[in-house]
Amino acid sequence: MSSSDWASKDFYKTLGVAKDASAADVKKAYRKLARDNHPDSHPGNKAAEERFKEVSEAYSVLSSADKRKEYDEQRTLFGQFRGGNPPPGGGQDLGDLFGGMFGGGRSRSRTRQPRGRRGDDLETEATIDFDQAVNGVTLPLRLTSDQACVTCHGTGAKPGTVPVVCSKCQGSGMQTGAAGGVFAMTEPCDVCRGRGLKVEHPCATCRGSGRSPSSRTLQIKVPAGVKDGQRIRLKGKGDPGVGGGPAGDLFVVVHVGSHRLFGRKGDHLTITVPVAYDEAVLGAEIAVPTLEGPPVRIRVAPGTPTGRVLRARGKGGARRDGARGDLLITLEVQVPADLTDEQRAAVEALRAARGDADPRGGLIANEAVS
């Protein structure tokens, strides 16, 4: 529908909200109407389907700040001509006037039906282990959302009864009243509120809404390398669409547990490994644990300082291409706090052999020069 056709419809009345309603109130009203008039609740009922389209059209305009502003301006002008006064320009058509002002063309005799509304997106959370985050995992996820009531099968009526056609609108869901002058306004029926049907004996489970909470279990695939707090999008797994519209998406926020030994750096795993002083000075071959499989043997070169990072290729996390990252090993030289007599004698012998060499001599010399 073009913007020039908005002026003839009262979208606020369609949703049952005041003209100064907040965006949150508009959304709340729309959701309630959507639940009350879901297609599953009225299978084969064309009047209910039309009502859904009207509610969707109203929400598509009022939920957008720009469209709502444009709509309010059109309605203000429309109200000025409701008393029968001709619009400026003599015989100019009102649709032409609004179309020219807001960028639309001449009003068409046939209006395009609004498209079905896309279902709402849903968001949930899942907690996985460190190992699962590194390698990826498929896990079940249980969701609860509104579906057609299992007791009344979406009709809203008590089992054994059926909704009856509204006597005022004869099932159309709409009523026409004079608005003054040459205009007549079509609006939702004030008896059935646009549904076209009346539920005289409401279902005890859903209280006449035709909707009730329903649980479903999805198998979701968490890719390898997912990070803590990352949102995974599952297209089409959100709320069902309205009026034939597509389903929304499901977003899963993943929380990853920690590991007592390993950390992560992109596709690589990290670990800090202690080495003895003599191993760092003289060199050694040490065993380093891996996340999966047996330990890997790593050679520590003589004279290795603390903080040196060594790399074990292919021992890290899984990548999307099927390969694996590396294991980054940070060496931490251990300085013993307590020494035996034999150890102390050995260290003192090393000090004596070092002589007067000062490892900080270069720092002091540079400071004197500067």
Among the candidates 256, 274, 295, a domain finishes at 256
DSSP assignment of 336-358 equals -SS--HHHHHHHHHHHHHHTT--
Q: Does 192 reside within a domain?
A: no
The verdict on 250 and 268 lying in the same domain is no
pLDDT digits (tens, 9 = 90+) for 227-251: 899 999 999 888 766 446 688 899 9
Answer whether residue 12 is part of any domain: yes
Q: What is the mean pLDDT of residues 23-45?
A: 75
Hey, is 50 helix, strand or coil?
Answer: helix
Asked if residue 353 and residue 314 are part of one domain, the reply reads: yes
Check which CATH number belongs to the domain holding 250 and give it: 2.60.260.20
Task: Judge if 232 and 267 occupy the same domain.
Answer: no
My answer on whether 153 and 209 are in the same domain is yes
**For the chain, what is the domain count?**
3
Q: Strands of 250-256's sheet, edge to edge?
A: 122-128, 250-256, 231-234
Any domain includes 275: yes
What band does 365 get if pLDDT is binned at 50, 70 and 90? low
Of 47, 68, 101, the one marking the end of a domain is 101
Boundary of a domain, candidates 210, 225, 256: 256
The answer to whether position 132 is within a domain reads: yes
Tokens of residue 301, six digits: 């070169």
- φ/ψ (deg, to 5) at 213: -60, 140
Hey, what are 298's tokens?
Answer: 């790593």
Same domain, 277 and 362: yes
**Looking at the structure, do residues 85 and 61 belong to the same domain, yes or no?**
yes
**Secondary element (H or E) of residue 244:** none
**Do both 133 and 231 map to the same domain?**
yes
State pLDDT tens for residues 120-177.
788 889 999 999 999 889 999 888 776 667 788 767 788 888 888 888 887 777 887 6
Are residues 252 and 277 both part of a single domain? no
Same-domain status, 242 and 313: no
Please indicate, yes or no, whether residues 302 and 214 belong to a single structural domain of this protein. Answer: no
Q: Is residue 106 part of a domain?
A: no
User: Is 191 among the domain residues?
Assistant: no
The residue segments making up the domain with residue 206 are 122-163+199-256
pLDDT of 73 reads 76
pLDDT band at 281 (very low <50, low <70, confident <90, very high): very high
Query: Domain check: are 213 and 238 in the same one?
Result: yes
Residues 285 and 340 in one domain: yes
- The pLDDT tens digits for 79-103 are 544 444 444 444 444 444 444 444 4
Residue 243 lies in a domain: yes
The pairing of beta strand 164-165 with beta strand 137-148: unpaired
Does the residue 319 lie in any domain?
yes
